[in-house]
Structure 1
Amino acid sequence: MLSKRPHQVIGFHESFAYERGGTSDMLLKALISDVPTWLIPGDSLRGGHKPDLGKFPAYRYDQAHRDLQQAGLIPEP
């Protein structure tokens, strides 16, 4: 998805967990890529917040960062 260079990523999830899941992975990679990101926790568009990058486990951050580098979506160190 990030290869399409989105201007914003919005995730919808009723039981979002920073530790696991596809929505979590998508939002984490968007945050690492500096794409504005928003999470709607449930089916109401009235709520929502920016996911906190610091709440993702370090091992998930590291893996997502490596994945993005290997895909050429963020620069290598």
Structure 2
Amino acid sequence: MLYEYMNLLESIGLDLLFAAIFFFIGMAIKDVLKQGNVPPFGRKVVWLVLFLGCTGFITKGLIQLIWEGTGLS
């Protein structure tokens, strides 16, 4: 029975791994910005870039789900 859901479990595990990686990257960036006394504009730029990276990754996943659901890939 577990073998039938192996692809689903693998996909969920990989998504959780990437979410954890993004979280730890965010925490590391927050620490570096705090210790480096970065001005507010620089902080906003850094967080914007990180947010856009996460958004792109999530968008890619949604597009992949939609394409797989409609049979395009």
Provide the TM-score with structure 2 as the length reference. Answer: 0.32
Higher RCO, Cα 8 Å, sep 6+: 1
More helix by share: 2
More strand by share: 1
Provide the TM-score with structure 1 as the length reference. Answer: 0.31
